Amino acid sequence: MSEKKSNYFKIYTLLLLFVTTTAISAETPPNVAGASATTPAPLILELPLWGENGLVNFKYPSMQNGVVLSKDYHKGLQWVSDRFFRTSNDTLLKKTFMFVGEFVVYSLPLPGSNAWLHEEFHIQALRTVGMKGQKDGVYDYDLSSDTIAVYGVSDADLAAYKLQHPSEWIRSHSAGYEAANVFVTEMQKDDFVSAQGKSTTNFSGYWAALLGNIFYITAVDEPAIDDDIKTYEREEGSDPLKRDLRGLDFITWTYDLFRPLETFEQARLDHPLGGKARGVHYEQLSPEERKYLKKQATLSYISLLDPTLFGHNWIGDDHHYNFNFKHQLTSFGSSIDLNIFYKVGNLNFYSKLMAQSNHDTYFPGIELQILNYRSSLSGLFNTPILFTPRLALFTYPSGQDFRTKSQEFGHLTALKLGFPWANRFLLSTELQYKSTGFIPGIATLSKEAVMNLAVSADF
């Protein structure tokens, strides 16, 4: 479930953060280097054709293809904003209105938005183990609602999936949080490679995604949230198929993380209108569980350590580089990731250092990727092939268990090939294999081999 209202009652925090953003980037033109005041950065959109679930279902895409579609949504809106509303002489007041307006539009419950991707990640985390019938409340187009639900599953089915797939069940609760982190990182990769200048106007979209996470997890970290939960339950009605699958994400995630072996019937209170409540009440958390939730809420602020939030695609003149931190929730605990971007000549590198942890043990990992290397080899259409190799090596708790100290080794290997065509189009195919383990943005926790196919256009 997404809780929208927290984004609005904390608008003053948003405005203060924007003043900081403006103070740092006030002298930076709103366009890319070399462009006129009315010319936005190039608009490059990608259409996924094939992925983890076969032919792309644009209503319920895989996690990876959902991120692609969400990037298109944000890039399209940003292009319109840059082209028709921004100038090089914008006042602070206009910048403020632009920033807040973009923030709200990116957060609206519409297909492609942050809210949509949040719910799609929830859905795909359980669809990968066979759960069917989930419906995304974004498609109800109720812009006045305070919450967005994933619904359409019976109590009996939820009980069965919790029993048979406890790790996927836990991961599904935190998948919406994961969605924002993956989206921002993938957008930042694109910006770092394709931007023609140091500045970016995409930072309002980054703020919307990351603050959505922070506002949500901090809003539920208090006993008073139970009053809201009881109100939600009364509003859900008596039909279990109309009820959200998990209630407020992070309370439910914390409870099930600590108590994976409890059955659905044991873990959930009775619903006031019959059947079982889907989410966990804050009062059900033990003191230790409340402390852990508060710790994660505090750690969520580390994701604001990011120069792109202040309009910087890269730092440095002779050598271009950038970095940021991401706080991640996982199927077995959490992770603090350090993302590093570095440009050497025509080589663009991305790397990630992972400090994953369960209850009391750390599990390190590393990821390396070269972004869109233009080779001297010719492929389809007699144009240079673009190579994007990716390698991740990591450890994780045996069985995705929250309390074990034993570890297993995991890896991901991928190679993406891009074939430019007619100076405006790009046909890309990617072969990807992962071992058992958690990788942000990939739905399954099991072994998997996938081929992705997409076409991009430069408008």
pLDDT in tens, 330-376: 999 999 999 999 998 889 999 999 999 999 999 999 999 999 999 98
Any domain includes 288: no
Give CA angle at 360 (358, 361), nearest 5°: 70
Q: Give yes or no for residue 46 having a pLDDT over 80.
A: yes
Could you tell me whether strands 362-370 and 373-378 are parallel, antiparallel, or unpaired per DSSP bridges? unpaired
CA dist., res. 426 & res. 29, Å (int): 29
Is 365 inside any structural domain?
yes
List, in order, residues 6 or more apart from 41 with CB less than 8 Å away.
31, 32, 35, 79, 82, 194, 195, 196, 201
> Residue 175 — φ and ψ, nearest 5°?
-65, -30
Beta strand spans in 132-171 (E): 135-136, 147-148, 150-151
Whether residue 61 is predicted with pLDDT greater than 50 in this model: the reply is yes
Examine residue 116 and state whether it is found in any structural domain, yes or no: yes
pLDDT band of residue 246 (cuts 50, 70, 90) is very high
Higher pLDDT, 222 or 379: 222
For the beta carbon of residue 307, count every other beta carbon within 10 angstroms. 20
pTM value surpassing 0.85: yes
What CA–CA distance (Å, rounded) separates 30 from 344?
A: 26
* 272: in domain: no
Per-residue pLDDT tens over the stretch 138-179 = 999 988 887 899 999 999 999 999 999 999 999 999 999 999
- The pair of structure tokens assigned to 339 is 């993302």
| Spatial CB neighbours of 457, under 8 Å, sequence gap ≥ 6 | 44, 45, 47, 424, 425, 426
Q: Is residue 195 part of a domain?
A: yes
In a domain, 257, yes or no: no
User: Would 260 be classed as within a structural domain?
Assistant: no
pLDDT value, residue 38: 43
Judge whether residue 443 has pLDDT over 70: yes
- Asked if the structure places residue 430 within a domain, the reply is yes
Distance CA 168, CA 187 (A): 26
Residues 7-27 have pLDDT tens digits of 444 555 655 566 555 544 544
What is the total count of domains within the chain? Answer: 1
What is the pLDDT, as a whole number, of residue 30? 44
Instruction: State whether residue 60 is helix, strand or coil.
Output: coil
Average pLDDT value for residue range 184-212: 85
Sequence-distant (6+) residues with CB within 8 A of 252 are 173, 246, 279, 280
Residue 128, domain extent: 2-249+295-458
CB 369: neighbour CB atoms within 10 A? 18
Measured CA to CA, the distance from residue 115 to residue 145 in angstroms comes to 13
Q: pLDDT value at position 85?
A: 83
Q: Which residues neighbour 435 within 8 Å (Cβ) at sequence distance 6 or greater?
A: 409, 410, 411, 412, 447
Contacts of 226 (CB under 8 A, 6+ apart): 281, 282, 283
Convert the pLDDT of each residue in 87-137 to its tens digit. Answer: 777 777 777 777 788 888 888 999 999 999 999 999 999 999 999 899 999
